[in-house]
Structure 1
Amino acid sequence: MSVSTRPKAQNPSSGRKIPPSLKYEEIDGVPYYYKGYRAVLSQKKTVEEIMGASALQSAIVSLLIHILYKYLPFDDYLIATNEPGLHLKTGSNLSNDIAIFAQNKLPVPLDEKYFSVPPEVVVEVDVKIELPTDISETEYIYQKTEKMLAFGVQKVIWILTKTQKTLIAEQGKRWVITDWDDAVEVLSGCSFELGPLLRSKKVIE
């Protein structure tokens, strides 16, 4: 899949300078800001109020982390959460919800900079940015996914809570959109069925 639309930077109508703390990520030099950042600029909300994940999003990430640690060999993988930063190149710095790295591909020791090694798998839960007026949510998802695959990520999984759908994009394969009740393989020997998993914890009905 490819997206021909190239987004432009989104600036507040007032022309006010946007604090760096409100930037979620950057793709090809184009900054993307946290959803709700305009409310912070107009002093209707605090930075902390727009950065927090919803209860459903938090539960999904928490339960997936449990599955990953249960089925992936601890010595073989590092599972990074809490919006791990991924540096693709100058002007392209992404944030992820879950990034699964092969332990033997990581530098030793890790430093305070963003990861510059492609994860094996990235899991994203919903779109966290304020979408520019000239790009749709689907276009953004496709663009970000393609950038990660081109960087060397082997698989990108998007979990979308509004539609209860999952997008699986894997190197060299057709992209697949599936329902939450279907099994999704993360890596060999590790898969999840999100719907049953969430219902088992009474997260959804």
Structure 2
Amino acid sequence: MAAVSVGVLGGAFDPPHNGHVALARGGIATFELGRLLVRVVRDPGHKDVGTPPGLRLLLAQLAFDPVAVAEVTLDPFARTVDSLEALELDDPVFLVGADEFADFLSWKEPERVLELARLGVATRPGVDRARVDAVLARLERPDRVALFEIEPLPVSSTEIRACVAAGAPIAGLVPPAVEAEIARLGLYAHVGKPGGGGMLGEDPSEGTTPT
């Protein structure tokens, strides 16, 4: 029996949005993935987020529940290379957006990352390909990087948090189940306000996408 191709998608998911889901679906289709490990990073340490990891895990589970091959878990590692070392997968595909890939050389041990996994880099219209090509030119194994296109979805977690704090609708930006859970729990209503974190009474203490 042929081995099942495995993909990995990591991030803070604060909150997960339709762009994350589009990246996942595009990667699954392009690389014919039989499993996609969605890793919710417990404490990346790069930027402050106010939402506890357990709640971000819940939101990610809701967001990716319609994606049949997705398996959502907490990732205790702050850096991609450490996470991949611990997973010990057989040549997985690590999915990442082109904007994140533009900073790939600043990641911890980027060449080791490419030894542990191929990179599936999602591009879209408007992405600065010159930045992507500049990174590829400096890699020892550019053959380990594959580009694929996804539909443009100009949305970010930062934008969504700001919309909720301002009382603006987020329908169409996040999956409906995520929208409903954010409203039910009152998440992000106090973002940007004195003492306000991701939820009432929480202090920002966590970061974003792993590197």
Common fold: TM-score over 0.5:
no
TM-score, normalised relative to structure 1: 0.32
Larger strand proportion of the pair: 1
TM-score, normalised relative to structure 2: 0.31
Determine which structure has greater relative contact order: mean sequence separation of CA pairs < 8 Å that are 6+ residues apart, divided by chain length: 2
Larger helix proportion of the pair: 2
